[in-house]
Amino acid sequence: MHNVLMSRKLIAFEASAVTPCPISGPALAHTVQRYRPKGLGIAKYEQLGQALLGAIEDQVWRLGDKLPTESALASATPYSLGTVQNAYRSLVERGVVVRIQGCGTFVAERRHSMDAPWHCRFLNDLGDSFLPVYTHVLSRELTHATGPWTKFLGQSADGIVRIDRCLTINDEFDVYSKFFVRADRFGTLLDRPARELEGINFKLLLSREFGTPVSRLSQTLAVSKPPPIVREALQLKASASVTVLDASASTNTATPVYFQSLYIPPNRRQLSLDDMTRC
């Protein structure tokens, strides 16, 4: 099982031994009513999910706190058991809570998910939103090596900046990312503290700080054996294959901006590619 997910579960499990659900009954009903959004046209499960999220953000429930059981929440509020289950599922998918079989639902350690992910838009169970993507920088380097990126970016005397990251999809599985840009234009990415690149959408970063908005995108998909560094990082068997998504992004004047290779292991999720070429 994924190491990050295990650590998050361990935090919640340890807390559960001393931190029971802090509110129940009428107090629980009052809390849900207090934080429930008042707008019309919001699905019931989303109403409840937003109410629980608001209470968590106000620290009614804190990190490691055990949340009410599904049946207790359904009994204390006007929402059905199915609505409660969908609300909890949506919070799990957003990384707000973690569920431990046989133990319950707990407030999870909050991390910042990537804003507007472009290439890893995996659909949730309901198919109406995308799963959160959390990133971790594995390595950065200046390279003069050639590869699939060379034809698109070219090869300047200054070399190419390569950034390898682990993209964690909803704490379910990891995608390995290799990101390439020209050093003569984006070399300062090597000087930034690694922590400043955590959870960052590189497309938005290059647009905001370097004035290079991406408006054109070309993508290819292939199934192949992953290179050793990817196989080891994703903890795959030697016989395993992955889906490789290569993305070439450029400005509206066809100036190359970045090349990215994503190595996606087998998983149960659907990857949405809709509208990705219309930027």
Predicted pLDDT at 18: 41
Give the model's confidence band at 265: pLDDT under 50 very low, under 70 low, under 90 confident, else very high.
very high
Please report the pLDDT score of residue 102 as a whole number.
73
pLDDT at 17 over 70: no
C-alpha 256/C-alpha 236 separation (Å) is 33
Q: What is the pLDDT of residue 231?
A: 95
Which range marks the domain in which residue 143 is found? 133-264
- The answer on pLDDT for 7 being more than 60 is no
pTM reported for the whole predicted model: 0.64
**Percent of the chain residues past pLDDT 90, beyond the cut:** 61
CA diameter of the chain: 69
Please report, to the nearest 10 degrees, the dihedral formed by the alpha carbons of residues 102, 105, 106, 109 taken in order. 100
- Domain containing 227 — which CATH number? 3.40.1410.10
- Is the pLDDT assigned to residue 87 strictly greater than 80? yes
- Higher pLDDT: 100 or 234? It is 234
The pLDDT of 88-92, averaged and rounded, is 90
Report if residue 143 sits inside a domain. yes
Residue 277, both tokens: 């070429």
In a domain, 28, yes or no: yes
Q: Determine the average pLDDT of the residues in 27-38.
A: 90
pLDDT score, position 110:
63
CATH of the domain at 60: 1.10.10.10
**Closest to 124 measured CA to CA, from 92, 83, 85:** 92
* 3-class state of residue 65 by DSSP: coil
pLDDT at 220: 94
Confidence of residue 20 (pLDDT cuts 50, 70, 90): low
Arithmetic mean of pLDDT, 133-152: 93
> What is the H or E stretch that residue 231 is in?
helix 228-233
Q: How confident is residue 275, by pLDDT bands cut at 50, 70 and 90?
A: low
Question: Using one digit for the tens of pLDDT, what is the confidence trace for 170-180?
Answer: 888 999 999 99
Contact 181, 189 (CB under 8 A): yes
Residues 34 and 103 in one domain: yes
Q: Please say if the pLDDT value at position 211 is more than 80.
A: yes
Type and span of the H or E element at 257: strand 256-264
pLDDT value of residue 40: 64
Is residue 151, in this structure, part of any structural domain at all? yes
Q: Is 253 helix (H, G, I), strand (E, B) or coil?
A: coil
Same domain, 64 and 159: no
**Judgement on whether residues 216 and 100 belong to the same structural domain of the protein:** no
Give the residue among 189, 171, 172 at the shortest CA–CA distance from 180. Answer: 189
Q: How many distinct structural domains can be found in the chain?
A: 2
What percent of the chain has pLDDT above 70? 88
User: 155 with 225, same domain?
Assistant: yes
How many Cβ atoms from other residues are within 10 Å of residue 210's Cβ?
14
Q: How far apart are CA 264 and CA 16, in angstroms?
A: 34
Domain-embedded: residue 273: no
pLDDT above 80: residue 16 = no
Rounded mean pLDDT, 180-191? 96
Instruction: Please indicate, yes or no, if residue 89 is contained in any of the structural domains.
Output: yes
For Cα atoms 43, 114, 104, give the angle at the middle one, nearest 5 degrees.
55
Residues 87 and 163 in one domain: no
What number is the average pLDDT over the span 154-175? Answer: 92
Q: CB 248: neighbour CB atoms within 10 A? A: 20
Residue 240 counted as domain residue: yes
Same-domain check for residues 93 and 140 = no
Average pLDDT, the chain: 86
Q: Are 203 and 248 in contact (CB under 8 A)?
A: no
